């Protein structure tokens, strides 16, 4: 059973890691704690419903539709809502993202109705037995795509010009601007990427169960993942996601589903008390 | 000169007209009754966590009222439904009820799909005396013992458990059934678990209670517990997402034991999401009949659903429930007379009231000692080939399991 839980935890944690990565990208670039990340994930699931059911797109077409739509949405959010408040205190920024989450939820319900929607993309189904461990093809696919996205993003962040500019802007906003970097464009790109990553996670979670606004609550598990891993650490977000997935499966399996939240949030509290910059984050030192 | 006989005739006719004029002019704003319309309250979760089930119920209820009004209303009055979205929040439920009591008074109210709210509001309902007629769910505490002015409108968890366990035990020719129950860790889940356990142990079987969280991304721990037990069949209490996760998980592990779910989980969206592989082992028990399971009984409902843009919901058991309750409420208002008040309505229902549901549900009957209303249920499953629901028999075939 341990190996089964570990395998399930790893696969599910990969999806959490993807969503947490989107969260970390947004925070690292714009210093915004995006409470709407969970709802953006639900948006991804509904975009997949639109692509596959309303537009009758094939699987790859649906993926492309979700990615493009999410990117546009993310850039729009940054341009219209976040950019005007740049430089303001933390509270208005937090309230904006909370309000955004509520608005997105209400918009989904207006457009798609209150109930969930079935998402039946032509993705691999069935299961395979590897030793004592049985894993479903859809879980493997979700994890594989998540790792592919994370790998592509890491490569983009490290080796591309835009990624370099993004890192520069995140390290020192003022220096980047003085060097001629269009910080607004870079921040919009960060929001676009963060929203795309959440949307892809939402697509798979919607396929696993149902596209519904209640997916937001699952998406918000990315928050403890990113805090545990390190708010400003890209690898930390991924590792945090894996840890949350493993803890969830092991606690639910060996103790009870109620124990899940205790075993996820107690480490969160400890990290905030002892090492608030996270497992892989960097301690920030201020000069007075 | 007018003869005495003619005088008497004229006097009688005048009195009749006066009576009708008086009735037609009867108003009681504190009861939500006006000369040309009656206000009736409806609360449901239209946008919260259980909106997937309660929204269709609300649509069914309102569609029924639209049909009633299109036919001229009740005793010359149209029924004006005042809708409050309570988002599955007990506080919002209470606020809405109090609103219907005095702020925008209604003759009665229906819906109230939060069992925790119902239990908490029992003293308020007794004090305010605004009839609650036809609820979406029915908390045990509200009907055992019967709460005055409160009348349920959905299948009870006890009856769901009894019919589900009884039917599958006989259907599978079991002597001592081994039953696993996956249920939400909430009040109604614990209640259902108690009833399932009682039904199983009464048959000399063994029972395992497996909780799952409402917000679950995966059901592997639950599925592994079921696998370890190797049950004869599985019972499911939860929301649509958890039932989907459990059934897909069981299919993933190749477990083909049949499963039955509570009424709320017997919707087309669940079956569509499961697909034939996982869905072929999935049934549910219900006191309402989806349209496709009984086209003859549902003809009027289907036509109305199509007319009012709700055609996609007619196979949703929750929509059918709302439709049945809407018609029951209209029927009750009619029987309360031309000068209805809250008290008259309650007295009429409490004295003994049987609604004509046209075969779309089991018998819907209230008595002074039974405010649950719907007792009979039947198991149903889904035929993916014809994309229609099919029942395992008539409601009367399964009354033997009820006690």
What pLDDT, in 10s, does the model give residues B313-327?
Answer: 999 999 999 999 999
Rounded Cα gap, residues B165 and A168, in angstroms: 64
Asked, for residue A104, whether it belongs to a domain, the answer is: yes
CB contact under 8 A, B273 and A120: yes
Rounded Cα gap, residues B270 and A209, in angstroms: 9
* Mean pLDDT (whole number) for A181-204: 91
Indicate the residue of B221, B245, B269 with minimum beta-carbon distance to A115.
B269
**A84 touching B (Cβ < 8 Å):** no
Rounded Cα gap, residues B130 and B152, in angstroms: 14
Residues sharing a CB contact under 8 Å with residue B239, sequence separation 6 or more, in sequence order:
A214, B49, B50, B52, B53, B184, B214, B264, B265
Instruction: Return mean pLDDT, chain A.
Output: 87
pLDDT of residue A288: 56
pTM listed for this prediction: 0.84
CB contact under 8 A, A256 and B49: no
CB contact under 8 A, A115 and B53: yes
SS3 B32: coil
**A8 touching B (Cβ < 8 Å):** yes
Q: Residue A129's domain spans which residues?
A: 2-215
pLDDT of residue B232: 97
pLDDT of residue A192: 95
pLDDT of residue B303: 96
Structure tokens, B309 = 């843009």
pLDDT of residue A162: 82
Does position B11 have pLDDT exceeding 70, yes or no? Answer: no
- Distance between first and last Cα of chain B: 73
CB contact under 8 A, B277 and A125: yes
User: Which of A16, A42, A115 is most worth mutating to test chain B (most B CB atoms within 10 A of its CB)?
Assistant: A115
SS3 A59: helix
**B212 touching A (Cβ < 8 Å):** yes
Structure tokens, A50 = 């639109």
**A184 touching B (Cβ < 8 Å):** no
- Give contacts of B272 with chain A, Cβ < 8 Å: 118, 120
Q: pLDDT of A29-42, one tens digit each?
A: 888 889 999 999 99
Asked, for residue A244, whether it belongs to a domain, the answer is: no
User: Which of B218, B245, B271 is most worth mutating to test chain A (most A CB atoms within 10 A of its CB)?
Assistant: B218
pLDDT band at A286 (very low <50, low <70, confident <90, very high): low
Domains recognised in chain B with CATH numbers: 29-155+294-366 (3.40.50.2300), 157-286+378-401 (3.40.50.2300)
pLDDT of residue B182: 96
Structure tokens, B361 = 């549900």
- Give DSSP secondary structure letters for B50-70: THHHHHHHHHHHHHHHHHHHH
CA atoms within 13 A on the CB side of A121: 31
SS3 A158: helix
Structure tokens, B231 = 């049950």
Indicate the residue of B55, B217, B221 with minimum beta-carbon distance to A115.
B55
- Give DSSP secondary structure letters for B179-213: EEEEEESSHHHHHHHHHHHHHHHHTT-EEEEEEE-
Are the C-beta atoms of B189 and B235 separated by less than 8 Å? no
Min Cα–Cα distance to chain A from B243, Å: 9
Rounded Cα gap, residues B139 and B371, in angstroms: 11
pLDDT of residue B1: 56
Task: Say if residue B19 is exposed, middle or buried (CB neighbours under 10 Å; 0-12, 13-18, 19+).
Answer: exposed
Query: Could you tell me what percent of chain B has a pLDDT over 90?
Result: 78
Does position B28 have pLDDT exceeding 90, yes or no? Answer: yes
Rounded Cα gap, residues A91 and A93, in angstroms: 5
Asked, for residue A287, whether it belongs to a domain, the answer is: no
pLDDT band at A268 (very low <50, low <70, confident <90, very high): confident
Q: pLDDT of A50-90, one tens digit each?
A: 999 999 999 999 999 999 999 999 999 999 998 888 777 77
- Give contacts of A5 with chain B, Cβ < 8 Å: 220-221, 224
Rounded Cα gap, residues A28 and A22, in angstroms: 10
Does position B21 have pLDDT exceeding 70, yes or no? Answer: no
| Dihedral in degrees, nearest 10, Cα atoms A1, B228, A263, A248 | 70
Residues sharing a CB contact under 8 Å with residue B367, sequence separation 6 or more, in sequence order:
B352
Indicate the residue of B222, B244, B272 with minimum beta-carbon distance to A209.
B244
Rounded Cα gap, residues B74 and B38, in angstroms: 9
Whether a cis peptide bond, with omega within 30° of 0, leads into B145 is: yes
Does position B158 have pLDDT exceeding 90, yes or no? Answer: yes
Does position B217 have pLDDT exceeding 90, yes or no? Answer: no
Q: Residue B217: name the closest of B189, B238, B245 by CA.
A: B245
Does position A133 have pLDDT exceeding 60, yes or no? Answer: yes
Are the C-beta atoms of A253 and A1 separated by less than 8 Å? yes
Asked, for residue A271, whether it belongs to a domain, the answer is: no
Asked, for residue A230, whether it belongs to a domain, the answer is: no
User: Which of B46, B273, B309 is most worth mutating to test chain A (most A CB atoms within 10 A of its CB)?
Assistant: B273
pLDDT of residue A117: 87
CB contact under 8 A, A115 and B51: yes
pLDDT of residue B233: 97
pLDDT of residue B216: 82
B183, closest residue in chain A (CA to CA):
A257
B249, closest residue in chain A (CA to CA):
A136
Structure tokens, A266 = 């107690």
Rounded Cα gap, residues B212 and B184, in angstroms: 5
Q: pLDDT of A2-51, one tens digit each?
A: 888 888 899 889 989 999 999 988 988 888 889 999 999 999 999 999 99
Rounded Cα gap, residues B316 and B268, in angstroms: 6
pLDDT of residue A260: 83
B 240-269 residues with CB below 8 A of A? Answer: 240-241, 244-245, 248, 252-254, 269
Does position B14 have pLDDT exceeding 70, yes or no? Answer: no
Asked, for residue A17, whether it belongs to a domain, the answer is: yes
**B51 touching A (Cβ < 8 Å):** yes
Location of structure tokens 């669940």: B270
**A214 touching B (Cβ < 8 Å):** yes
Asked, for residue A87, whether it belongs to a domain, the answer is: yes
Instruction: Return mean pLDDT, chain B.
Output: 91
Indicate the residue of A134, A252, A257 with minimum beta-carbon distance to B252.
A134
pLDDT of residue B262: 96
Indicate the residue of A109, A115, A214 with minimum beta-carbon distance to B56.
A115
Does position B99 have pLDDT exceeding 80, yes or no? Answer: yes
How far lies B385's CA from each of A117, A201, B271, B275, B279, in Å?
Answer: 21, 32, 12, 11, 12
What's the number of domains chain A is made of? 1
pLDDT band at A221 (very low <50, low <70, confident <90, very high): confident
How far lies A33's CA from each of A29, A81, A92, B75, in Å?
Answer: 11, 14, 11, 59
pLDDT of residue A110: 86
Rounded Cα gap, residues B282 and B212, in angstroms: 18
**B272 touching A (Cβ < 8 Å):** yes
Judged by average pLDDT, the poorest of A188-192, A266-270, B30-34 is: A266-270
pLDDT of residue B165: 98
């Amino acid at each position: 059973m341990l190996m089964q839980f570990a395998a399930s935890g790893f696969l599910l944690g990969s999806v959490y890691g993807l969503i947490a990565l989107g969260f970390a990208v947004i925070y690292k670039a714009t210093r915004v704690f995006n409470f709407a990340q969970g709802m953006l994930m639900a948006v991804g699931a509904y975009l997949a419903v639109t692509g596959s059911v309303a537009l009758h797109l094939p699987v790859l077409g649906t993926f492309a539709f979700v990615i493009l739509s999410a990117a546009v949405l993310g850039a729009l959010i940054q341009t219209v809502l976040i950019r005007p408040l740049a430089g303001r205190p933390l509270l208005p920024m937090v309230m904006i993202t909370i309000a955004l989450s509520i608005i997105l939820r209400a918009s989904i319900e207006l457009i798609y109705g209150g109930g969930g929607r079935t998402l039946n993309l032509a993705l691999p189904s069935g299961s395979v037995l590897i030793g004592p461990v049985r894993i479903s093809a859809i879980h493997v696919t979700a994890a594989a795509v998540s790792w592919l996205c994370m790998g592509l993003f890491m490569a983009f962040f490290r080796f591309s010009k835009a990624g370099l500019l993004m890192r520069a802007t995140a390290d020192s906003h003022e220096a980047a601007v003085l060097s001629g970097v269009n910080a607004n464009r870079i921040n919009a790109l960060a929001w676009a990427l963060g929203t795309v990553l959440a949307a892809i996670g939402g697509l798979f979670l919607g396929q696993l169960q149902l596209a519904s606004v209640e997916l937001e609550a699952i998406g918000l598990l990315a928050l403890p993942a990113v805090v545990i891993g390190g708010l400003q650490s890209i690898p930390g977000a991924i590792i945090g996601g894996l840890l949350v997935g493993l803890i969830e499966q092991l606690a639910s399996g060996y103790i009870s589903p109620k124990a899940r939240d205790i075993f996820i949030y107690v480490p969160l509290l400890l990290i905030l008390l002892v090492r608030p910059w996270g497992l892989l984050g960097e301690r920030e030192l201020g000069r007075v | 000169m007018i003869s005495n006989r003619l005088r008497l005739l004229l006097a009688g006719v005048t009195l009749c007209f006066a009576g009708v004029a008086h009735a037609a002019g009867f108003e009681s704003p504190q009861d939500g009754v006006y000369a040309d319309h009656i206000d009736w309250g409806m609360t449901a979760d239209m946008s919260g966590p259980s909106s997937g089930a309660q929204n269709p119920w609300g649509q069914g209820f309102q569609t029924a009222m639209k049909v009633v009004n299109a036919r001229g209303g009740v005793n010359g009055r149209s029924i004006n439904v005042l809708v409050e979205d309570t988002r599955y929040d007990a506080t919002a439920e209470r606020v809405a009820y109090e609103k219907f009591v005095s702020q925008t008074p209604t003759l009665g109210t229906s819906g109230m799909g939060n069992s925790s709210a119902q239990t908490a509001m029992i003293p308020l309902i007794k004090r305010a005396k605004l009839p609650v007629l036809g609820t979406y769910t029915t908390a045990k505490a509200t009907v055992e013992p019967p709460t005055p002015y409160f009348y349920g409108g959905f299948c009870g968890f006890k009856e769901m458990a009894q019919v589900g366990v009884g039917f599958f035990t006989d259907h599978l020719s079991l002597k001592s059934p081994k039953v696993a129950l996956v249920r939400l860790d909430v009040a109604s889940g614990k209640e259902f678990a108690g009833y399932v356990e009682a039904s199983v142990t009464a048959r000399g079987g063994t029972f395992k209670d497996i909780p799952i969280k409402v917000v679950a991304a995966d059901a592997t721990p639950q599925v592994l517990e079921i696998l370890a037990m190797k049950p004869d069949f599985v019972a499911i209490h939860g929301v649509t997402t958890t039932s989907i996760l459990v059934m897909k998980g069981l299919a993933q592990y190749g477990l083909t034991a049949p499963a039955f779910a509570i009424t709320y989980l017997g919707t087309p969206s669940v079956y569509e999401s499961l697909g034939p592989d996982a869905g072929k082992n999935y049934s549910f028990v219900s006191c309402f009949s989806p349209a496709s399971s009984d086209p003859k009984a549902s003809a009027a409902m289907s036509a109305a659903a199509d007319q009012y843009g709700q055609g996609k919901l007619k196979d949703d058991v929750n929509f059918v429930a709302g439709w049945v309750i809407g018609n029951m409420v209209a029927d009750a208002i009619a029987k309360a007379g031309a000068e209805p008040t809250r008290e008259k309505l309650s007295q009429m229902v409490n004295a003994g009231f049987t609604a004509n549901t046209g075969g779309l549900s089991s018998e819907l009957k209230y008595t002074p000692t039974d405010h649950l209303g719907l007792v009979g249920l039947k198991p149903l499953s889904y035929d993916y080939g014809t994309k229609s629901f099919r029942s395992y028999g008539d409601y009367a075939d399964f009354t033997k399991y009820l006690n």
